[in-house]
Structure formats: structure tokens, C-alpha cells
Homo-oligomer: A and B are copies of this chain.
């Protein structure tokens, strides 16, 4: 890694931090303290205090006082949860909605004022560049971890994967085809973003030096980051260090992005090696 690259990124961050005053005054600009303003935004249409605390990582006493403040201003009501008398539910009053909309408008106006100095093309360029920055930062912050095959978040990903296949395959997908934890001989990887699993993949032995990659899946909210390629790379690396020299995989013609990923990643099509009805195409790559 070049020290130069680090400095450039830091430099940008400094610049952006300095500008954030201009950019993110969702909250400020009102006489309202920041904590309360955040709450105004976070209380959508009714919200358990329990959830609020978890989402904003607030102390229960602190949250209570913040809400009390908003209540005193008539922006929020706090009522007992209908189902559970211990829980309270916060809800914006009409005035609260107006207040929130006003904060929102203010923020929007600010950005509009900023963009006003640019031409339409320049605005588009700005947005494209911001998307690129975000895409790469998201990719950089995703963590890829080794997990036991039976790990709950991994099974969770596989369930979402199966549900998607069932949706996309004309013939549907039977979740019984998912690799059962017991049969796993290789590695199961999980990709996390901000603690939430956003992708999975596993490899398992076909022969001593031949592995099969299965169930490579990226959650919809994390697509377009290049995460599929990254996971695939990790899977190959893991298999390779385990002595595997050839990886194969099967896929379905409906999964066009996956197929193009495999081709881009150096896989070539081979004759089908599996009897699974979903594996309409087969690919192979020498490591």
C-alpha cells in the first residue's frame, strides 16, 4: 500500500468533514439539540422505545429524557404498547411531523443551494463520483469471515438465497438442495457489512484436489459493490491453501450476473458434472 494513497484519502476526509457542516444539517439549524432532532427522524410512524434504544445505542435514561423534552414541546406522544404493558411506543404528533418535514426541507434546501452553482452535467458527475466513492468504501468495509457451516447467520443467508432462487427459477427451487451443514468438508464464508450478513458462499471437496463452489450469493442490498468477486476470490484462496487445484461450480441459466462473474473471473464452461436439476451450466477453473 502506498503511503501516498493513504494521505490522499485522509485529505479528502478532512475536506469532507470540514464541509459536513454545510452538508448534513438534517439536525442543526434549528434551536433543537441534536439528540432530539435525531429522534424526530428516527421515530418513523410509531416505534418501540426498545427499538429506538437499540438503533441509536442510547442509554434508557437518556432516551427517556430526550422523549420527555419532545413531549413537552408537543411533538411526540409516548403511549403504552398495546400488547406489552412494559413497552412504550413513541409516535410523532402532527406538529412533530411538521417539524420533521421542516428540518427535512431545510436540509434539502441547503443541498439545492449547493448544487445550484453546478451545471446539470456537473451535478450528474458529482453524483456518479459520490456513488463510486460509496461503492468502494462499502466494499472496503465489508468483512469476510470464516464461519462454521451450521452458524445461524450462515443458514439465514442460505434461506434468503433459496428464497431468491425459488423466485427466479421458472421451475422454483427446493430448499432441500441446500448443502446440509453435515456434508460440508470445506469452508463456509460469510460477508458482513456493519454486522449484518450480506453474502455467503462455500466450497466443499469433490475429490482431494477438486472443490466445488456452492451457494455464492450476495444480498440485494449489497449488489454492485464487487462483493461477489471478492467472495469468490476468498473461496478460491481458501480452497487453494487446502490443496485444491481445480474448482468447479454449477449454475442456472437464469443467474446471468453470476454467469458473467464466473466468466470474468477466469472460469470456462465444461460439461455438466452434477445431476442437480438446477445446475444447467457447469464451469471450471484451475487455481
Contact = CB atoms under 8 A, between A and B. Distances in A.
A254 interface: no
B140 A117 contact: yes
Contacts of A12: 127, 130-131, 133-134
A133 B139 contact: no
A95 interface: no
B112 A1 contact: yes
Nearest to A14: B24
A155 B19 CA distance: 29
Contact of A24 (B2, B17, B115, B142): B17
Interface string A126-168: 1101111110110111100000000000000000000000000
Interface in A1-39: 1-3, 5-10, 12-17, 19-20, 22-24, 26
B23 A134 contact: no
A24 B13 contact: yes
A108 interface: yes
State the number of copies, please. 2
A107 interface: yes
A118 B10 CA distance: 16
B136 A9 contact: no
B136 A1 contact: no
A127 B209 CA distance: 40
A53 to B, nearest CB: 18
A123 interface: yes
A6 B111 contact: yes
A125 interface: yes
Contacts of A10: 107-108, 111
Contacts of A126: 9, 132-133, 136-137, 140
Contacts of A142: 117
A125 B118 contact: no
Contacts of A94: none
A129 to B, nearest CB: 4
A286 interface: no
Given A6-B111, A118-B136, A129-B133, 12 more contacts: A1-B115, A1-B116, A8-B131, A10-B108, A12-B127, A15-B137, A16-B133, A17-B24, A114-B137, A122-B139, A122-B140, A126-B137
25 contacts: A1-B112, A2-B123, A5-B127, A6-B108, A6-B112, A7-B108, A9-B111, A9-B130, A12-B127, A12-B130, A12-B131, A12-B133, A13-B20, A14-B24, A16-B20, A20-B20, A22-B141, A114-B137, A116-B140, A117-B140, A118-B139, A122-B136, A129-B133, A130-B133, A133-B133
